[in-house]
Structure 1
Amino acid sequence: MPRGQRHGHATGATAASNGAGGFEKALFEQARAGLEVYDTDLRVLRANPAVLAMRGLPASQVIGFGLQDLDPHLPLSPIIREVMTRESAVFDRPVSTYPPADPGNRHDYSVTGYPLQEHGRSIGAAAMIHDVTDQVRRQEELDLLSIARARIGSSLDAVRTAQELTEIAVPSFADAVAVDLLESVFAGEAPVGPVTGQPSMKRSGFKAREEGQYGAYPIGSTSHFAIPTPYTQALADLRPRLVESVCSARRWLANDRLRAEFIRRAGVHSLIVTPLTVHGLVLGLASFYRAGSHPEPFDEEDLSLATQLAARTALCVDNARRFTREHTVATTLQRSLLPRTAPLTAAVDSSHCYLPGRYGAHWFDVLSLSSCRIGLVIGFVPGEDLPASVVMGRLRTAVSTLAAMDLPPDELLVHLDDVAQRLAREQDSDPLTVLHARPPFTASCLYLTYDPVTRRCAAASAGHESPLVTSPRGVVAGLGIPSGAPLGRGLPYELHTTQLAAGSLLSLYSDGSAYRYPAEADERAGRLREAVADVSADPAEICDAVAYKVLRGTAPEDGAALLVARTRSLAPDHVATWTFPPEPVSVREARRATRDRLEHWGLEDHVFVTDLVVSELATNVIRHAEGAIRLRLILDRTLTVEVSDDSDTVPHLRHARLQDETGRGLFLVASMTRHWGTRYEEGGKTIWAEQSLAAA
């Protein structure tokens, strides 16, 4: 517009203003809302101080100018043009802009435009503008928090929860969001209090406004935050960090090359880092980045909103962590701690009672051994539930493996102690041990074997309570097994042997609170003696009585386990024993004696296989061992053949070649029977082979 023309319009506007009444002038000048008047060509005729402040321009650069030329400061021309075209008012139309006077911050306005008419003829338009920046921002924050409460934590999955935060925060709040969780969270754990150093973090969530944009690390990968950066500072004092301008923080960016590359690539200019904490537990970090789509930097109000989003996310991640921990513990206990079914044997009738606790892990087992013998084991691993349960599972597996080798109890515990020492070294080398201040590794175990043929009981203890034995007359006493050192100390163990009357009740118990609360443990032990004294009750009934009378109401905080077994003895006519001199003719005599006994037992269908086993094992004694040939047959649910000698040589299973004339003995025994093995005893060894009594 020519300068003279602009001056003319300005002069007219001034005259009109001077002609207005004082009331009208005061209203126009003092109104907090922006007021503007336009002619039919959308030139500004009048503007009050409020709208001039919104535009950030003086009156001389507004009045008389075309509205479209002023749009960079406040885009009103589309609204006023619509009003003039439709000749009807437009109410509360939202307008957002980044004015040149404040380019780093978005301003929001509510615009009402209405036409001006005189005698039915259009003479211009007017606009009323309200600055609603604060109201819009608060409403956006409330809406975002409402969405967060509704969408974050839809499942008990920590990774999905982290990703849900990124999806609601981008693009409304940030241009990119990354969530990194401590790796320990995925094991159901979390460190307490501030975290110093460089903990291993797992990238659990990331989202960027631009499709195809990727973060410094892919989801699922692990990384460490460099020191010092806002990330490690937030972990160190658990306070959020606001970096209004990345340009002023180039020093710490030099310490973290990959994240610095992401910031440069994405054009990030401002960021917020918030720790994810719940009740003092540190779970991870949430990082919010702003780039070109959000030219305004984060401020203190944004920091407050980010902190609230992080708090909601942390609560849901902690729920997922707790669920993972509880589920893992329950699964471990179910699969590793409790035997699914007790084996049916001629040695004992057994049952158990188990009460999980808040600290440590108990385990027990009933193991079938060779020659109808039985092995009973019970143990306790103190410590946090999840690590203790894992150790317990490994120890139980080791005991089962060692018991299958027919080792006596004291030797078995020595080998189990080697396993415990290795577990202790693994624990000491684990960084989480120092982080969690875990106590030194320790565990207790009691292992006992019982032979229903000889009624001999052999036991050894590694720091565990001695079992109780109830005689057939109801007298309860301790078995008197020396306690020994706990597992992992590298010390030997003492073997204790005794004869048990048939019908005796063995009670192996474990009270996790015995060392921490000895008075309570002694009281429960007294009630336990009363419960196991009932000679008329079977093991299952005794376990029920213990559950109600001993553990109910005053249950130990750290759990308890009870394994009871009533002993049996094998009928004399189910065992046959012979001794033959180490001569070739003895093999024929052994076969004849075996055949006669099988016919007496009605096992004629098993004569062929049993003849072969006896012949091979007796021949091995003559050729490779020394002393007399001691042959024993045991009839139970299976048929067991034992051949003993005075030698401690180790038999080996060989696969003979076609041209070999020997070497097939043990291979044939192994092929024709269900199980076979070697058991070492004082003064020699026993080779045994077990057959199923199914129809031959």
Structure 2
Amino acid sequence: MHEAGAVGGWRRGSRSDVAPVLVKPVLRGTSVAWQVCATAGAVSRGEDVAVLKAMFTQSPVGLQVLDDQLRVVRMNSATRGLRDTPVGHLLGRRFTEAYELEDPEEEAAVAQRVLESGEPVVNRLVRGGQAPGRPRRRIYSVSYFRLEASHGDVLGLVASAVDVTERENAQNRLALLDTVRARVGHALNVPAVCRELVEAVVPAFAGIAVVEVIEDVVCGEEPPSVPVHRDVPLRRTACQGPIPARPAGDVRPLSADTPFSRVLADLRPRLISIEEDSSWLAADPARADAIRRSGAHSLIVAPLALRGQALGVVSFYRHQQEDPFDEDDVELASAACEHAALCINNARQYMREWIIASTVQRRLLPQHPATHATVETSQLHLPGPEGGGAWFDAIALPGARTALIVGDVGGRGISAAITMGQLRTAIHTLAALDLRPDELLARLSDTAVRLAAERLALPPQDPLQSEPLTVSCAIAIYDPVDLTCTIARAGIPEPVAVFPDGASANLPVPPGPPLTGTGDAPFPATTVKLAEGSTLAMGTAALADEVLAPSGPLRPLLNGASTRHLPVVCDKIANALTGGHRIGETLMLLARMKALPADRVLALSLPADPEAAPIARAAARRQLSVWGVDEETAFTNELIVSELVGNAVRYGAPPLQLRLIFDRMLTSEVSDGATSAPQVKHARTIDETGRGLFIIASLADQWGTRYWERGKTVWAVQQMMPSASTKQSAGQ
């Protein structure tokens, strides 16, 4: 069989009577294909020979003629350029055996379908297999056409092939760079940006990618100048592929005399062939062992740098059957790392602001939450990716009561944290006035109005000037004597009560609108009974659907909280939230209620006449003796009780009641049916009255008035150190 010489007819077995063939170019879309068919003399034999000779000797397109068994029966000179193999070794062999293909079975199936259906396949991209002596596999644009005789017999196929390796590689590089630019830079922290990078390049560009960033950069600090000192630690922020030597998050300096350390010295990318005897592998045995086990054979080390400052280094590996890198790949890796470095620097600047905001917020939150004898508290706080202004509080009130507060300031960064600090300070000041939860929210709304006005007064170029103020808050006051909890909320989800038997229920607290700086909104309060051992859960909006909703997927973790250690409950919910999809800052306060022992409370009804004062003094003296209170405190308390009762008799209305509550403070309360507000008056030397509240204010550590539906309660608190007998009885 001749290659391009004796072309007098199609040879099939010993037959030579087949009609001449007609070969002509056909436009298919934007590509040119060759159509070969038998003809009955439309073209002269001389012209036929000339066309075939030109095709098989001068055409840049590789042509192969296959018989109906897909065996190679003829090829042109361009085909020989596609593979350095003598023609005699290829003719007569099935074409999938004659050529190295990445997936020969699939290619045979495609050719067989064309042979059976006659429907041509045009410009199909086919990857060649790994050939000895060729560092990279080739990519071909292949077309298949069925060859038919004039009477319709199927003779075989004509396959054309063009080497498009360089074109496809260039397009793939551009596509990869577009992918990196589109996918890298959405995150707002350095490790997340690094994860975006490795996910974009693996496996499209490399089988393995490792990103190591200077630790100071991860923490938001300024990057060092070049050359980077050998002792500067780097954190492995992201890794994709089988390089398990060091896990993500590991921090250590780079080993000296390795390509990685050299890149940080001059910011020049390097293309390295990994050989068994590569000397630099000995400098980092752990990394070398991981490289060998992964089968990596080609490496690009590229710097993460910006304006001459080093941010880190990226290692791209190709392993096993992947083609080795070339110089064009180095340019691509450098371009990808330039974009990633810009995104990492933006994230670094944001992280610095986030770290400052988080530090401010953490300092403004309770550093050492006070322990309360009648309430056990535990909080769950997961900062958001952009920082925030969520806060919690548990404030001790007179009468062994406790105010439980959860709040959240809209926005992010330092401004949200500072606003949170202002509101938290305001609520502590307001709590000292012993207001009801709804009244506290109303006063807090007034504070929000002033803060919103201050924002509007800022210069127009200040970004805070156009940011609206939105605050959500819930306040609950627990009374361990009456075992009641009065709750009001503004923009916070319904609180949940977990009862001692493990069951839970959302408390029907009417919703109030968030505090937006407009004021004039009502905040209705609800009082509910909570048995001893019940747990109250209040949280921000981020927990509404997951935990606080009756059908929330994490609600079972909250059920039964009254029988478990509260920090354990918080940890379980935090782990579940961290593993799933969480939006924004998350904060929840759990409070387990305890009853104040009955022997710590004295309640005594008093007559509305002058005999009330001596009765109250005598009762207080006896009770304080039982409690083991020292004589000095007891004497002071007698004076306080006497003045409280005297003012109630003189200016109040029946019924009168004295109540002494002994917890960590000694609270003296006198209630009457009048709603008039007591006022401190400075009596003149000749006045016989008007010194009662002045004396109380002088003797007590704190005093105030609490109003209820049909009267008021005037109270005074004494801080004291209990005697030894008191400590012993409290311990029992």
Q: Which moved more, 1:566-575 or 1:376-385?
A: 376-385
| 2:680 match: secondary structure | coil
Q: Contact 2:495–2:548 (CA<8 Å) still a contact in 1?
A: no
Q: Which moved more, 1:529-538 or 1:348-357?
A: 529-538
Q: Name the amino acid aligned to 2:488.
A: A
Tell me how far apart the structure 2 counterparts of residues 692 and 437 of structure 1 sit (CA, whole Å).
45
**In structure 2, do the counterparts of structure 1 residues 370 and 529 end up closer, same or farther at CA, with 3 Å as the change threshold?**
farther
| 2:625 match: secondary structure | helix
Tell me how far apart the structure 1 counterparts of residues 220 and 574 of structure 2 sit (CA, whole Å).
34
- Report how far residue 422 of structure 1 moved: 2.1
Identity of aligned residues (%): 37
Tell me how far apart the structure 2 counterparts of residues 513 and 591 of structure 1 sit (CA, whole Å).
51
Aligned counterpart, 1:113: none
Q: Contact 2:396–2:403 (CA<8 Å) still a contact in 1?
A: yes
Q: Does 1:600 align with 2:630?
A: no
Q: Which moved more, 1:650-659 or 1:372-381?
A: 650-659
- Report how far residue 593 of structure 1 moved: 1.6
Once the two structures are superposed, residues 566-621 of structure 1 have per-residue CA deviations (whole angstroms, 9 ceiling, x without a partner) of: 00111111111111122111211111122222222233523311211111111111
- Report how far residue 666 of structure 1 moved: 2.1
- Report how far residue 345 of structure 1 moved: 2.1
Q: Does 1:684 align with 2:711?
A: yes
**Which residue of 528, 531, 534 corresponds with 1:498?**
528
Q: Does 1:585 align with 2:615?
A: no
- Report how far residue 664 of structure 1 moved: 2.7
Q: Which moved more, 1:581-590 or 1:563-572?
A: 581-590
Aligned counterpart, 2:430: 402
| 1:584 match: secondary structure | coil
Aligned counterpart, 1:342: 369
Any gaps of 5 or more consecutive residues in structure 1? 1-152, 165-277, 280-313
**Which residue of 565, 570, 576 corresponds with 1:543?**
570
**In structure 2, do the counterparts of structure 1 residues 666 and 317 end up closer, same or farther at CA, with 3 Å as the change threshold?**
farther
Q: Contact 2:535–2:561 (CA<8 Å) still a contact in 1?
A: no
Aligned counterpart, 1:369: 397
Q: Name the amino acid aligned to 1:602.
A: G
Aligned counterpart, 2:497: 469
Tell me how far apart the structure 2 counterparts of residues 320 and 557 of structure 1 sit (CA, whole Å).
21
**In structure 2, do the counterparts of structure 1 residues 474 and 608 end up closer, same or farther at CA, with 3 Å as the change threshold?**
same
Tell me how far apart the structure 1 counterparts of residues 535 and 441 of structure 2 sit (CA, whole Å).
23
- Report how far residue 434 of structure 1 moved: 7.6
| 2:533 match: secondary structure | coil
Tell me how far apart the structure 1 counterparts of residues 719 and 547 of structure 2 sit (CA, whole Å).
48
Once the two structures are superposed, residues 426-455 of structure 1 have per-residue CA deviations (whole angstroms, 9 ceiling, x without a partner) of: 223334578579553212111111100001
Tell me how far apart the structure 1 counterparts of residues 546 and 650 of structure 2 sit (CA, whole Å).
61
| 1:464 match: secondary structure | coil
**Which residue of 346, 352, 361 corresponds with 2:379?**
352
**In structure 2, do the counterparts of structure 1 residues 374 and 521 end up closer, same or farther at CA, with 3 Å as the change threshold?**
closer
Tell me how far apart the structure 2 counterparts of residues 676 and 436 of structure 1 sit (CA, whole Å).
40
CA RMSD of aligned residues (A): 3.4
| 1:481 match: secondary structure | coil
Tell me how far apart the structure 1 counterparts of residues 676 and 640 of structure 2 sit (CA, whole Å).
19
- Report how far residue 328 of structure 1 moved: 2.9
**In structure 2, do the counterparts of structure 1 residues 343 and 695 end up closer, same or farther at CA, with 3 Å as the change threshold?**
closer
**In structure 2, do the counterparts of structure 1 residues 561 and 555 end up closer, same or farther at CA, with 3 Å as the change threshold?**
farther
Q: Which moved more, 1:632-641 or 1:661-670?
A: 661-670
Q: Does 1:381 align with 2:409?
A: yes
Q: Contact 1:406–1:678 (CA<8 Å) still a contact in 2?
A: yes
Tell me how far apart the structure 1 counterparts of residues 626 and 464 of structure 2 sit (CA, whole Å).
66
Q: Contact 1:157–1:317 (CA<8 Å) still a contact in 2?
A: no
- Report how far residue 353 of structure 1 moved: 1.3
Alignment of structure 1 residues 97-116 onto 2, 5 Å: none
Q: What TM-score do you get using the length of structure 2 for normalisation? A: 0.49
| 1:363 match: secondary structure | strand
Q: Does 1:487 align with 2:512?
A: no
Aligned counterpart, 1:694: 721
Tell me how far apart the structure 1 counterparts of residues 675 and 547 of structure 2 sit (CA, whole Å).
49
Q: Does 1:569 align with 2:599?
A: no
**In structure 2, do the counterparts of structure 1 residues 428 and 529 end up closer, same or farther at CA, with 3 Å as the change threshold?**
farther
Tell me how far apart the structure 2 counterparts of residues 335 and 482 of structure 1 sit (CA, whole Å).
33
Tell me how far apart the structure 1 counterparts of residues 594 and 546 of structure 2 sit (CA, whole Å).
35
Tell me how far apart the structure 2 counterparts of residues 349 and 440 of structure 1 sit (CA, whole Å).
36
Alignment of structure 1 residues 147-162 onto 2, 5 Å: none
Q: Name the amino acid aligned to 2:409.
A: V
**In structure 2, do the counterparts of structure 1 residues 661 and 522 end up closer, same or farther at CA, with 3 Å as the change threshold?**
closer
Tell me how far apart the structure 1 counterparts of residues 690 and 515 of structure 2 sit (CA, whole Å).
41
Tell me how far apart the structure 2 counterparts of residues 364 and 156 of structure 1 sit (CA, whole Å).
28
Q: Does 1:455 align with 2:483?
A: yes
**In structure 2, do the counterparts of structure 1 residues 449 and 520 end up closer, same or farther at CA, with 3 Å as the change threshold?**
closer
Aligned counterpart, 2:334: none
Any gaps of 5 or more consecutive residues in structure 2? 1-216, 226-305, 308-341, 724-732
Alignment of structure 1 residues 60-209 onto 2, 5 Å: none
**In structure 2, do the counterparts of structure 1 residues 617 and 522 end up closer, same or farther at CA, with 3 Å as the change threshold?**
closer
- Report how far residue 562 of structure 1 moved: 1.2
Q: Name the amino acid aligned to 2:655.
A: A
**Which residue of 396, 403, 420 corresponds with 1:392?**
420
Aligned counterpart, 1:416: 444
Tell me how far apart the structure 2 counterparts of residues 523 and 624 of structure 1 sit (CA, whole Å).
50
Q: What TM-score do you get using the length of structure 1 for normalisation? A: 0.51
Tell me how far apart the structure 1 counterparts of residues 573 and 344 of structure 2 sit (CA, whole Å).
40
Q: Which moved more, 1:353-362 or 1:658-667?
A: 658-667
Q: Which moved more, 1:493-502 or 1:379-388?
A: 379-388
The count of residues paired between Structure 1 and Structure 2 equals: 390
- Report how far residue 390 of structure 1 moved: 1.8
| 1:557 match: secondary structure | coil
Tell me how far apart the structure 2 counterparts of residues 565 and 519 of structure 1 sit (CA, whole Å).
19
Tell me how far apart the structure 1 counterparts of residues 547 and 557 of structure 2 sit (CA, whole Å).
16
Q: Contact 1:380–1:512 (CA<8 Å) still a contact in 2?
A: no
| 1:551 match: secondary structure | helix
**In structure 2, do the counterparts of structure 1 residues 478 and 316 end up closer, same or farther at CA, with 3 Å as the change threshold?**
closer
Tell me how far apart the structure 2 counterparts of residues 521 and 685 of structure 1 sit (CA, whole Å).
36
**In structure 2, do the counterparts of structure 1 residues 555 and 368 end up closer, same or farther at CA, with 3 Å as the change threshold?**
farther
